[in-house]
Structure 1
């Protein structure tokens, strides 16, 4: 694997790490009143990482066939036309991101749904099974919008690496994706009183902005697609 691919995957994993399921719910678990049980956060994060890994394996298995079909469909189209199409797509994705953020502002549901999720996460009821169910529900809700993960799977499939290395890369991605939550958990267990104010600030920021995070993610991907098309068009000019 090249250094550029590794850097791209790490960046996408860190982007994924700030999602509702990978960071906000773990922060709520860490803020649970009373004695904090390490097994709760371990069970939750292991379930999330395992679910993402399985989804990645399934997507990777079908990615090669999808990429080959796309190559055959695009074969014979001039490169300049393809880059222009990519440019249009990037601009449309950026416009879509603004629409998503505007909708999030209009439909801010912090008083309702987010608080119900927070109450469920912090209740302490249901044991490990309940936490694993909560983790699977969070992954399921995010499945339709896991754009960074889909981009990462596409990069891995395009890299044409061996099956064992593909599995190792997917596993590493899932570890990096849960790393911020792991760091906060370690800080919470090691220095409860000093870490608690930090966790509350993280919680406040994520609770206010979690509904808008999808718009930011989509916008970042759109900007990347657009810039890549512009650079390619400039470089390919005779």
Structure 2
């Protein structure tokens, strides 16, 4: 385990901490939940952290097993064609969320406003946010790839993964603490941040899908057409 690896993972986790699921929804919850309901935000953040940790463990174990047993098949022309088609599909799907395109077609812009209820709803909300974002969270997937290719033993990558997801939710925990001691000062700023993130949430999803699609297509096209 090198310092460069640790810095890379820290940088990727900080980027992930600004996503709609790890910051946008918590900011919204901070604004609408009363002090007596703060535990709901903690339940939500805990659900997100556990979800990503378990997904990370599954990917770490699954990727190493797949690479060991099916490495040749994954680098075949058939596999690269599947990757190419998947990339094109993700890129095409990005236009479905693009606010500018929806406006041209006369369709309403998609907004992501979470519904609130009891603790069970917070668990469902956290799980749903994770499911919707995990495939498009390029930094998280990149971090998994970095740890996989670094051949780290489980005794190293498990705590690294735990630290990664903790950093992901840390900004929201800090905002929660600040809200407890400086609510009147913080809430107007949170409201502006909530409005901005809600307004741009669809665009963020669109860009994330497009970026992942382009990366998949570029990698597959290099193998299929330029080798």
TM-score (norm 1): 0.72
Distance 1:158 1:189 in 2: 42
Deviations 1:160-198 (A, max 9, x none): 111121110110110111112112111111210011011
Q: Could you list the runs of 5+ residues in structure 1 that have no partner in the other structure?
A: 76-84, 226-238
1:176 to 160, 164, 167: 167
- Work out which of the residue numbers 149, 169, 179 in structure 1 matches 2:140: 149
Paired residue for 1:185?
A: 176
Q: How many pairs are equivalent? A: 208
2:129 to 138, 157, 173: 138
1:208 Cα deviation after fit: 0.9
The one-character-per-residue Cα deviations of 1:186-226 (angstroms, maximum 9, x if unpaired) are 1111210011011111101110111121344456678999x
* Other-structure match for 2:198: 207
**Residues 1:73 and 1:134: Cα distance change in structure 2 (over 3 Å):** closer
Q: What SS does structure 1 have at the residue aligned with 2:135? A: helix
Match of 1:194 in 2: 185
Whole-Å Cα distance in 2 between the matches of residues 35 and 15 of structure 1?
A: 29
User: For residues 51 and 136 of structure 1, do their structure 2 counterparts lie closer, same or farther at Cα, with a shift above 3 Å needed?
Assistant: same
- Cα distance change of structure 1 residues 174 and 74 upon mapping to structure 2, 3 Å threshold: closer
SS at match of 1:145: coil
- Deviation track 1:69-123 (CA, whole Å, cap 9, x = no partner) reads 6754688xxxxxxxxx9xxx8xx979x769726842126212xxx24x2xx13xx
Please list every run of 5 or more consecutive structure 2 residues that lacks an aligned counterpart in the other structure: 217-227
Determine if contact 2:12/2:143 at 8 Å carries over to the other structure.
yes
- DSSP-derived class of the 1:206 partner: helix
Shift of 1:149: 1.8
Shift of 1:15: 2.2
CA distance in 2, matches of 1:44, 1:156: 27
Under a length normalisation based on structure 2, what TM-score does the superposition of the two structures give?
Answer: 0.75
Is the Cα contact below 8 Å between 1:101 and 1:212 reproduced in 2? no
Q: 8 Å contact 2:44–2:122 — kept in the other structure?
A: yes
